[in-house]
């Protein structure tokens, strides 16, 4: 049979492993304020990109063809 010391050691090792798996040992690289600043910069980049895309689409013009006016329709009919 296994000695009580061996069982106690195995139990302690098991408990230590379980606690270690629960704890992620996370050491933050950035502070909370730095993370907020980084997120704000990312949001600003996204807004700038969408603004650039919008400006380009306005320069190219709408994708839908412009409907002809009544005068143009009358000319085509003649």
Q: Given pLDDT bands bounded at 50, 70 and 90, which one contains residue 25?
A: low
Residues ≥6 apart with Cβ < 8 Å to 70: none
Contact predicate 68/76, CB 8 Å:
yes
Secondary structure element (H or E) that encloses residue 50, with its range: helix 32-60
pLDDT per residue as tens digits for the range 3-14: 999 999 999 999
Considering just the CA atoms, what is the radius of gyration of the chain in Å? Answer: 34
Cα gap 7→14, rounded to integer Å = 10
Q: Is the pLDDT of residue 17 over 70?
A: yes
Of the chain, the percentage scoring pLDDT greater than 70 comes to 68
The model's pTM = 0.35
Question: What's residue 8's pLDDT?
Answer: 96
Q: What are the angstrom distances between the C-alpha of 31 and each of 9, 24, 39?
A: 39, 18, 12
- pLDDT by residue (tens digit) across 37-46? 989 998 888 8
């Amino acid at each position: 049979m296994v000695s009580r010391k061996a069982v106690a050691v195995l139990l302690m090792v098991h408990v230590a492993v379980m606690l270690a798996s629960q704890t992620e040992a996370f050491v933050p690289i950035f502070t909370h304020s730095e993370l907020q600043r980084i997120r704000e910069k990312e949001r600003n980049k996204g807004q700038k990109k969408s603004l650039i895309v919008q400006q380009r689409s306005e320069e190219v013009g709408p994708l839908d063809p412009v409907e002809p006016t009544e005068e143009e329709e009358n000319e085509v009919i003649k």
